[in-house]
Amino acid sequence: MAHELAKQYDPKQVEDRIYASWLKGNYFHAACDPEKKPYTIVIPPPNITGQLHMGHALDNTLQDILIRWRRMQGFDTLWLPGTDHASIATEAKIVAALKEEGISKEDLGREGFLKRAWEWRAQYGGRIVEQLKKLGSSCDWERERFTLDEGCSKAVREVFVNLYEKGLIYRGERIINWCTHCKTSISDAEVEYEEKDGAFWHMAYPFTDGSGAIIVATTRPETIPGDTGVAVHPDDERYKDLIGKTVRIPVIGREIPIVADTYAKMDKGTGAVKITPAHDPNDFEVGLRCNLPILNVMTDDGFMNEQAGKYAGMSLMECRKAIVADFEAAGALVKIEPTKHEVGTCYRCHTSVEPRVSKQWFVKMKPLAEPAIKAVRDGKTKFIPERFDKTYYNWMENIRDWCISRQLWWGHRIPAWYCDDCGKITVEREDPTHCAHCGSAHIHQDPDTLDTWFSSALWPFSTLGWPDKTPELAHYYPTNTLVTGYDIIFFWVARMIFSACEQMGEVPFDTVFIHGIVRDELGRKMSKSLGNGIDPLLVIDKYGADALRMTLATGNSPGNDMRYSEKKVEASRNFANKIWNAARFILMNLDGTEKAPYVPADLALEDKWILARFNALVKEVTDNLEKFELGIAIAKLYDFIWDIFCDWYIELAKIRLQKHDETTETAKAVLIYVLSETLKLLHPFMPFITEEIWQTLPHEGETIMLSPWPKFDEALCFDAEEATMNSIMEAIRAIRNRRAEMNVAPSKKAHVYVATEKKDVFSAAVVFMQRLASAEEVILGDSFDLDGAVSIVTADAKIYIPMDDLVDFEAERKRLQKEKEGAEKKLSGIQAKLSNPGFLAKAPAAVVEGQRAEEAKLIEKLRMIEESLAALG
């Protein structure tokens, strides 16, 4: 049968159909076969609010490459997919949607709001999953999980109770980061610092005994109503005598003491610092040490409260202006010093974060961090690239307790009940009906929910069934590779590691494969506000998923950012088309009776050469994948397919294909073999086109997805044939080069005389030269005496092309002279090395040998160039 394939590859005709066939074949499903070695990846669960962006596309392409490769290698592979409930982001979206309808979440009430939230999740939660499928992701969709599903919730509950019972979770009044827009506490990791213009306002606080004033500086005048002290360093000679005195806050009028605390640095500002324990983390600590009262002067939505007296009801900025104006009027404003300031903002909404004292739940971090640090130090989990372990250590070693309670409704509700009678807390695995301390039935549950990252932290084991002892957990845990961006190491990776160490006594994965972020063409971060984001789905629609994947894989080197540009996708699309046409050509030459791919017995020179090159490729690509050098692996595949296979081998094979004799069958067999084996190597990177072509070629098995990964084969090493082919290719390139230089049309065939000692090599090359070097006839001999011929010198031969009318003797002499100089320069470099005793003594023998061989070649080449120059007269 003659195959009729379109001249250009059209991914739209292929991708959805192929993906459906994979699903139908159930190929993504992990069987949980205890006999087979597992390889597991858990997906970084995208937010249900999310839409696929380039970051997801990169992250999931890398995961799919790894999982497809390991699957072909015969591992029992599990790529476990799922989504994250993303409490703060999702709740914000729903609140915004409600606002459109003119209602607040309070109007709906907790129950009603959660009903809406689940409806929202039902409607949009599957969107990103469908988008992942467009990319070709071979996740085991039967095992898809959700951080708020029953099993994950059970895991969350277990961990919370567990940590509470160990005393590693506590409730306390501490200073936390408060987002006035989201109206919830957030953790330290969720604060992003942005540089903003600010100032130091120097204010004079008069002593109550009328003996003058002390000057303090502040960047936040609006906190002045909350001041409960002024601190100076105990050793500060300037202020020693003032300790214990009181000052009166200007305008406000309240009396506050001057206290001694080492937090006040003598060399900073005036050496005296106002203390606002309710609204600054450091001041909070000072307040504790010096017994200062805590005075909260703000509301939870960013206004001054009744404690702020006349400023109550103002926004923070209004209050700041008013206070500065009032102080100035009262003569208490000493000076204003403009400055830049790092201001904490909420990572979700970028509203300024207000530090404030609040009763929240915390995880005690020190005891959890230690084993997690040790695990990485011991190499149980490795970061790729390695340098990110520094980032990890740095964070883990300086970690503070983790605020895990959120004043939100969408999430895992904190499993703590407060007794209305005895006031004690009951924390249990099952919802209690009575106080565990006094037995009272008057208990009420904490209204808050847990930080989203609390449940994400359990993802590698909660998704495998923990706390139940499931076969999946036994087989697939610990997982193998976690693929994620460096921007999420703190939020997620570190927390997974310490959670797993604590709960499982084992690290969650052996390798963390870190990638960078995808930037726009100008190197800027893709962002909504800049409007420079590229929608991967549009790219897939235009160029195909394979082209997008190829682009993302090609540019990738671990840990480094990459720039997206449509030009790169075009190049990838062209590559897909190239393979398509190579396959089309091969198929055109088949009649449908061909057997499944095999290596025929009567191999020709060029067959041995391509098989040897392919064999080397197998080894290299596999090694690169083992080392997570995905970008290098795909680059090698690209070069092999385009330059080696298409531009050389197929062209050479055409000679035999057109002969229609017994050699034709060998050529066909090798073409089929090399193409289909190469498709396997390429499949993890470009799954769709490789499947489509593989299905059309003679093959065994249902799908390329499950075909065995090629192995390096000693029987396919043909060193001598490789060397021979290299000589021939060099000669062909040299001839083409000379013809191009002289502007000889390819249609003008020439006689080619090859003077060489290696006649066996070049006799094989005769037909190649005819086909690829526009040779009409190739004459071999020991030497020729041809006047008016162009001569070409290669390492193994001297080639003459008589072209009397075309030869410009002067130009020819110049060219030869230039070539001679080049060769001489190179030779002298090599000879310098070879006469260096240090080099001879210390360099490996193979390197020295290589240099000697090169020297001999150059000497011979120079001899022939001299000869040609002499012949020119």
Partner RNA sequence: GAGGGUAUAGCUCAGUUGGUUAGAGCGCUUGCUUGACAUGCAAGAGGUCGGUGGUUCGAGUCCACUUAUCCUCACCA
Looking only at residues 776 through 795 of this chain, which bind RNA when binding is defined by CB under 7 A? none
* Radius of gyration for the chain, computed over Cα atoms and rounded to the nearest angstrom: 37
> Does the CA dihedral 159-161-163-169 come out positive or negative?
positive
Q: Is residue 234 a contact residue for RNA (CB under 7 A)?
A: no
Q: Is residue 743 a contact residue for RNA (CB under 7 A)?
A: yes
On the 0-12 / 13-18 / 19+ scale of CB atoms within 10 A, 760 is exposed
- Residue 358's DSSP bridge partners are 174
The nearest distance, CB 105 to RNA, in angstroms, is 29
Q: Which is nearer to RNA, 110 or 748 (CB)?
A: 748
Q: Which is nearer to RNA, 272 or 539 (CB)?
A: 272
Q: Determine phi and psi for 864, rounding to 5 degrees.
A: -70, -35
Q: Is residue 3 a contact residue for RNA (CB under 7 A)?
A: no
Contact indicator for 492, 44 with CB cutoff of 8 Å:
yes
Contact indicator for 684, 621 with CB cutoff of 8 Å:
no
Among 13, 574, 695, 817, binds RNA (CB under 7 A): 574
Contact indicator for 305, 316 with CB cutoff of 8 Å:
no
Q: Is residue 835 a contact residue for RNA (CB under 7 A)?
A: no
- Residue 230's DSSP bridge partners are 258, 274
Q: Is residue 639 a contact residue for RNA (CB under 7 A)?
A: yes
Biggest alpha carbon distance in the chain?
118
Q: Is residue 584 a contact residue for RNA (CB under 7 A)?
A: yes
Q: Which is nearer to RNA, 17 or 567 (CB)?
A: 567
Q: Is residue 398 a contact residue for RNA (CB under 7 A)?
A: yes
The nearest distance, CB 43 to RNA, in angstroms, is 23
Q: Residue 710 has what DSSP assignment?
A: P
Contact positions with RNA (CB under 7 A) in 128-187: none
Q: Is residue 270 a contact residue for RNA (CB under 7 A)?
A: yes
From its phi and psi, is residue 859 left (phi > 0), alpha (psi between -120 and 50) or beta?
A: alpha
Contact positions with RNA (CB under 7 A) in 315-354: 339, 341-342
Contact positions with RNA (CB under 7 A) in 33-72: none
On the 0-12 / 13-18 / 19+ scale of CB atoms within 10 A, 608 is buried
Q: How far apart are CA 56 and CA 595, in angstroms?
A: 41
Contact positions with RNA (CB under 7 A) in 517-556: 523, 555
Q: Determine phi and psi for 450, rounding to 5 degrees.
A: -95, 150
Which window, 69-77, 270-278, 315-323, 711-719, contacts RNA (CB under 7 A)? 270-278
Which window, 150-158, 210-218, 459-467, 709-717, contacts RNA (CB under 7 A)? 210-218
Among 27, 75, 124, 200, binds RNA (CB under 7 A): 200
The nearest distance, CB 684 to RNA, in angstroms, is 17
The nearest distance, CB 224 to RNA, in angstroms, is 11
Closest among 204, 247, 211 to 229, alpha carbons compared: 247
> Does the CA dihedral 342-344-347-348 come out positive or negative?
negative
Nearby residues of 363 by Cβ (< 8 Å), 6 or more positions away: 163, 168, 169, 401, 402, 404
Contact indicator for 262, 233 with CB cutoff of 8 Å:
yes
- Residue 484's DSSP bridge partners are 514
Q: Where is 549: in which H helix or E strand? A: helix 545-554
Q: Determine phi and psi for 37, rounding to 5 degrees.
A: -75, 130
Q: Is residue 238 a contact residue for RNA (CB under 7 A)?
A: no
Closest among 737, 750, 759, 802 to 777, alpha carbons compared: 750
Residue 397: other Cβ atoms inside 10 A: 11
Q: Which is nearer to RNA, 23 or 266 (CB)?
A: 266
Among 213, 646, 806, 869, binds RNA (CB under 7 A): 646
Among 568, 608, 668, 798, binds RNA (CB under 7 A): 568
The nearest distance, CB 263 to RNA, in angstroms, is 6
How many residues touch RNA under the rule CB under 7 A: the total is 102
Q: Which is nearer to RNA, 415 or 485 (CB)?
A: 485
Contact positions with RNA (CB under 7 A) in 281-320: 281-282
Contact indicator for 629, 621 with CB cutoff of 8 Å:
no
Contact positions with RNA (CB under 7 A) in 68-127: none
Q: Determine phi and psi for 345, rounding to 5 degrees.
A: -130, 160
Among 51, 73, 351, 565, binds RNA (CB under 7 A): 565
Among 16, 144, 149, 192, binds RNA (CB under 7 A): 192
Q: Which is nearer to RNA, 390 or 711 (CB)?
A: 390
Q: Which is nearer to RNA, 301 or 521 (CB)?
A: 521
The nearest distance, CB 746 to RNA, in angstroms, is 5
Q: Residue 490 has what DSSP assignment?
A: I
Contact indicator for 551, 637 with CB cutoff of 8 Å:
no
The nearest distance, CB 400 to RNA, in angstroms, is 7
Nearby residues of 179 by Cβ (< 8 Å), 6 or more positions away: 185, 186, 346, 348, 349, 351, 353, 354
Cα separations in angstroms, 866 against 822, 846, 859, 872: 13, 30, 11, 10
Which window, 44-52, 445-453, 637-645, 864-872, contacts RNA (CB under 7 A)? 637-645
Which window, 29-37, 118-126, 307-315, 831-839, contacts RNA (CB under 7 A)? 831-839
Q: Which is nearer to RNA, 318 or 651 (CB)?
A: 651
Q: Determine phi and psi for 179, rounding to 5 degrees.
A: -95, 120
User: What residue type is 501 in one-letter code?
Assistant: C
Q: Which is nearer to RNA, 154 or 341 (CB)?
A: 341
What mask of x and - would describe binding to RNA in positions 840 to 859, judged by CB under 7 A?
--xxx--x--xx--x-----
The nearest distance, CB 537 to RNA, in angstroms, is 20
b/e per residue, 514-530, with b = 16+ CB within 10 A?
bbbebbbeeeeebeeee
Q: Is residue 264 a contact residue for RNA (CB under 7 A)?
A: yes
Q: Which is nearer to RNA, 443 or 697 (CB)?
A: 697
Q: Which is nearer to RNA, 76 or 620 (CB)?
A: 620
Among 624, 707, 724, 727, binds RNA (CB under 7 A): 624
- 456: three-class secondary structure by DSSP: helix
Q: Which is nearer to RNA, 377 or 627 (CB)?
A: 627
Among 70, 220, 608, 668, binds RNA (CB under 7 A): 220
Closest among 508, 840, 546, 497 to 685, alpha carbons compared: 546
Q: Is residue 817 a contact residue for RNA (CB under 7 A)?
A: no
Contact positions with RNA (CB under 7 A) in 377-396: 387, 390-391, 394-395
Among 434, 578, 813, 820, binds RNA (CB under 7 A): 578
The nearest distance, CB 187 to RNA, in angstroms, is 10
Contact indicator for 98, 105 with CB cutoff of 8 Å:
yes
What mask of x and - would describe binding to RNA in positions 430 to 469, judged by CB under 7 A?
----------------------------------------
Q: Is residue 9 a contact residue for RNA (CB under 7 A)?
A: yes
Among 246, 305, 315, 581, binds RNA (CB under 7 A): 581
Which stretches of 684-831 are assigned E, i.e. beta strand?
A: 750-756, 775-781, 789-793, 797-802
Residue for token pair 């001679």: 820
Closest among 290, 274, 169, 182 to 225, alpha carbons compared: 274
Q: Which two tokens stand for residue 802?
A: 């008589």
Q: Is residue 830 a contact residue for RNA (CB under 7 A)?
A: yes
Q: Is residue 659 a contact residue for RNA (CB under 7 A)?
A: no
Among 53, 93, 133, 274, binds RNA (CB under 7 A): 274
The nearest distance, CB 844 to RNA, in angstroms, is 6
Contact positions with RNA (CB under 7 A) in 479-508: 487, 490
Closest among 326, 205, 219 to 257, alpha carbons compared: 205
Q: Is residue 406 a contact residue for RNA (CB under 7 A)?
A: no
